Structure formats: C-alpha cells, structure tokens
Amino acid sequence: MSPTSDLLAAALAQSGFHPRLPQQRRLYEAAKAAIHQQRLGAGGKLPSSRDLARDLGMARNTVIAAFEQLAAEGYVVSSRGSGTYVADLQAHSASMRGVGATPQGRSTAPAATPSARLSRRGQELTSYAAGPQFEIQPFAPGDPDFSSFPFKLWQRLQNRVWREARNDLLDYGQSGGHLPLRQAITEYLRISRSVKVEVEQVMITAGTQQSLDLCAQLLADVGDTAWIEDPCYWGARRVFQARELKLRPITVDSDGIAIAAADLATKPRLIYVTPSHQYPTGAVMSLARRRELLDVAVRKDAWILEDDYDSEFRYTGRPLAALQGLDHDDRVLYMGTFSKVLYPGIKVGYLVVPPALIPAFRSALYDLQRPGQLTVQATLADFITLGHFTAHVRKIRQTYGARRELLRHMLAQKLPRSVTISREESGLHLVIELPDQVDDMALAQQAAMQGISVKALSTYYLKPPIRRGLLVGYAYCTPEQITDYGRLLGTIIAAEAAA
C-alpha cells in the first residue's frame, strides 16, 4: 500500500469523519483536507484509480468519481498517459494576486479587513447599528406589548385558511397583495383615518421600511433631495441614505414640520412626515401646516410620504384624520403597519399610492420584492373583517392608556419642576423634556446601567439639537415594571437635573 493510500485510509477509518456521506464523497473530503493541510504536497503523484481502489477496498468507479470532483474544483490535475498530480494551490493564489505578489508567491499587500470590503454606502449604513440600540427592554420607545396578542384566535383563523388548501395562496402574489386584505384595509382607512382610497391603490408590503424603500427607488434618483423632519425616525433616514439621497432636515416644533425660507430655496423630490403623531417628539401637525405642506409639494413637484405608524393609539377622542385626506392633487403616498398593533414579526404593512402610480408600484413590488406570505395575509383579512381587529385595538388601547397614566404618576412623584412630561394623548411613548444643561445621552447611559432602555431625544436630530429629553416607552411594560422602573428613572433624572 502506498503512503497516499495509508494517509487516506487512516482518515476514512475515523468514526467521526463524515459518517453519513457516500463513500465517493468521503474519499473526496479526505483528499481535499489532506491537500489543504499540505500532507499531500503540491506536485505529488496520486496512485492510479485502480491501485487506490484496491488499497482502500472500494469500487474503482467510486475512486474515479472522487478524482473527477477534485479535478473539477482544481485540487488535482491530470496528464493523459502520465497520471494525476496534486495542484499547487499557493502558486495559483499568487498568480491571482498579480502585481502585489513576491517571487515566493506571498503578497506584500495587507489583508483587507471586513469593513474595508464594504462599499462606502455599506460602511455608512452599518456604522449606526440600530438593532442592539432598539432591542426590547423596559421603557424602550415604540415597542408594543405583543404578549397580549390573541394567539388561540389567530391560530384558529390560520388553520381554517390552511384547510382550504388554496394553491393561489402559495404563490408570490402579483396584484399588490391578497385582495380580501386590501379590501378590508380600504374600508378601515376610509372609516378610521378619513383616507381617500380605492382598493386598487392599496399595496401590501412587508412593513413601513419596505414601503419607504419602494418610494425612494421609484420616485427619486441618486443625489435627489429628501426633506425629513428634524428630529426624525431613524429608520426613514437609513432608507434614504441607502438610496443615496441628500437629506434636508426641517425643524419640527409644537405644530409639526416648520418650513423656513432657506428650506424653500431647495427643491425636494421626497418629503417625509409623521403628521398625526410626530416621531419622536409627539407633535401633531396643525391644519395650517398641513395645507402649507400640500401647497409646497405641488409647487415643488414633490411627493409627500405620510407615515401613519401608530394612529390607532389615541387615548382621548377620535383618531386624527390623515394628511392624505386633504390632498386634492395626488401628491401624498400614505403608509401604515400592523407591527405596532399586532406583533412586530408579522411584517405586514400597506402603502396607498395615487392612482397614476398604481401600475408602476404594483409592477415594482413584484419585480423587486417578490411579495409572499399570502396565507398570513388571508388570516389577517379574516381577523379584520370578522371584527377581531377592532376588538383587539380597543382592548390594547385601554391597556396602554392605563399604563401611560401610571408612568406619568410614578415619574411626577420624583421629577423636579424644571423637567416636564409630554401631554400628547397618543402613541406608545412619553417624552421627558430636560433642561438644556442636562446631557440626555449621558442620562440614557445611566439608565441603561440600571436595566432601563430609554432613548436620548438629541440622537434623533441631524442638525444640532434644540431640545434635550428622553423617550420613554410604556407599552411593553407590566404595571409592576412601570411602578418600579418609573420610580427609579425619576430618581436618576432628578439627581442629574439638580447637579
């Protein structure tokens, strides 16, 4: 038996060496590992397939198949009438490196780090790393209490959909989403949000991020300007940056977005707003500002992207009417999501586009995103049309409203007069406004050390921040947590404000 046969036989004899693979694949893996580890040296001649088959007790065809796979991947080279030899992998690597290689075949150029291999856009996008910052913890803003989701009811509806065994629900979906769900959303938006909409205008997306991305791709080119609120929702910023748009931050005050003369000197292609409950400040855009914004969009030939992310959570009176309902020139694209009302992982949102944009958006949604999850959409359609959605919203609205008042009460016991709490009666978070001398980022870090996840208001600004504060969520907290953490947070803020 040759040394090569001994080497391969020893590897194959190990009980843990790919025991479930076919013999041909095990021999291939053994030879490949030996070549990588240089136990079979470059230029070394392998035994003939006949001799190796005899030495290893295999069929010759098994050995031939393994040799052919090794040759196809460049591990061995065959010379007709001469035999099969181990390829020189290092020489091949050096030739691929070209100019940077030394005569010995080793490159003098430093190895590229993972960050260096990213594009400029990729480095910018990943530098923020929003995920860990926004994971669910006590008082994290914007997180719903999805533990209250009606699992058994949903499972019953979903089982019914699966029992129907409809082949059309297993496809991607080419018409903008499951028709019954689009019909249910259309009716819901007409009644609850005063949106002017026909079912053909509704596109089912994978959530607000996808809706924004579609708008950025279809309505703006690289280098175009997007007006965004300042402070602004971080997710919208990331989408526009990923599409290489120029961001123009527009100041937000108590009446919403406040367009200045300097802003009007620029030409926006997109204008992103959250008029019903500005994120993160909680401001509601006044009627005068809404009319002004619509007029500007017409004069500038711009598209308004209205993000109505949490309109269901208004605790006094009816939900405010959408900006889109005032639009007579078809300049507004309206978007919403079920992630806040049901659970984040459902990944179902909707986008209402002006009639002229229906063909383009329907085509792009299919071509670029390959939408699916039609069984989930069918279940959600039943959930809405059978009245369960309205009942669920009513229940969690009462729950969140009570938690909001409890949090206010616990904080008020500790906070000094120099610190104020927002009074907006909607949303999933409060804003605690701090004196200018208080560092809200340092305060948020102090709270994090105590296991409390609050966000500094100043981090949402693109321009130098004009307000300091903390965003404090209350939806994903039990009353017991709100009592304990609310008292602790109030103590931390009070100590810093008094320093």
CATH at 374: 3.40.640.10
Q: What would the mean pLDDT of 421-426 be, rounded to a whole number?
A: 84
Domain closes at, from 387, 419, 434: 387
Q: Cα–Cα distance between 105 and 338 in angstroms, integer?
A: 58
pLDDT bracket for residue 103 (50, 70, 90): very low
Where in the sequence is the domain holding 454, given as residue range(s)?
391-498
DSSP helix/strand/coil, 229: strand
From residue 117, alpha-carbon distances to 111, 244, 267, 488 in Å are 10, 19, 34, 44
Residue 288, strand partner residues = none
pLDDT bracket for residue 167 (50, 70, 90): confident
Classify residue 476: in a domain, yes or no: yes
pLDDT bracket for residue 424 (50, 70, 90): confident
Residue that wins the pLDDT comparison between 270 and 372: 270
Among the residue ranges 76-90, 228-242, 373-387, the one predicted with the least confidence is: 76-90
Burial class of residue 247 in the structure, from the number of CB atoms within 10 Å of its CB (0-12 exposed, 13-18 middle, 19+ buried)? middle
Percent of the chain with pLDDT over 90: 58
SS3 content of the chain, % helix, strand, coil (to 5): 50, 15, 35
Whether residue 356 sits in one domain with residue 405:
no
* pLDDT on residue 377: 93
* pLDDT on residue 462: 94
* pLDDT on residue 143: 61
* pLDDT on residue 128: 61
* pLDDT on residue 168: 76
Q: Cα–Cα distance between 395 and 391 in angstroms, integer?
A: 6
Whether residue 452 sits in one domain with residue 379:
no
CB 227 within 8 A of CB 305: no
- The angle at the Cα of 409, spanning 408 to 415, to the nearest 5 degrees, equals 80
Q: Cα–Cα distance between 173 and 163 in angstroms, integer?
A: 20
Whether residue 335 sits in one domain with residue 269:
yes
From residue 476, alpha-carbon distances to 106, 114, 169, 297, 380 in Å are 56, 36, 33, 37, 23
Q: What would the mean pLDDT of 123-145 be, rounded to a whole number?
A: 62
Q: Cis bond leading into 280, ω under 30°?
A: yes
Residue that wins the pLDDT comparison between 89 and 444: 444
Whether residue 417 sits in one domain with residue 379:
no
Classify residue 99: in a domain, yes or no: no
Classify residue 326: in a domain, yes or no: yes
Strands 303-307 and 246-253: unpaired
Q: What would the mean pLDDT of 381-385 be, rounded to a whole number?
A: 96
Number of domains in the chain: 3
CATH of the domain at 470: 3.90.1150.10
H helices within 253-309, ranges in order? 261-264, 287-300
- Each residue's pLDDT tens digit, 429-467: 999 999 989 999 999 999 988 888 899 999 999 999 999
* pLDDT on residue 98: 54
Q: Cα–Cα distance between 438 and 440 in angstroms, integer?
A: 6
Q: Cα–Cα distance between 140 and 455 in angstroms, integer?
A: 7
CB 270 within 8 A of CB 240: yes
Average model confidence (pLDDT) across the chain: 88
Question: Is residue 150's pLDDT more than 80?
Answer: yes
CB 368 within 8 A of CB 214: yes
- Each residue's pLDDT tens digit, 186-234: 999 999 999 999 999 999 999 999 999 999 999 999 999 999 999 999 9
- Please, which residues have CB within 8 angstroms of residue 460's CB and are 6 or more apart in sequence? 231, 232, 233, 234, 280
Question: Is residue 112's pLDDT more than 60?
Answer: no
Classify residue 112: in a domain, yes or no: no
Domain closes at, from 387, 402, 435: 387
Whether residue 343 sits in one domain with residue 404:
no
| Greatest mean pLDDT range, 165-174, 213-222, 317-326, 337-346 | 213-222
- Each residue's pLDDT tens digit, 327-361: 999 999 999 999 989 988 889 999 999 999 999 99
pLDDT bracket for residue 2 (50, 70, 90): confident
Q: What would the mean pLDDT of 63-87 be, rounded to a whole number?
A: 88
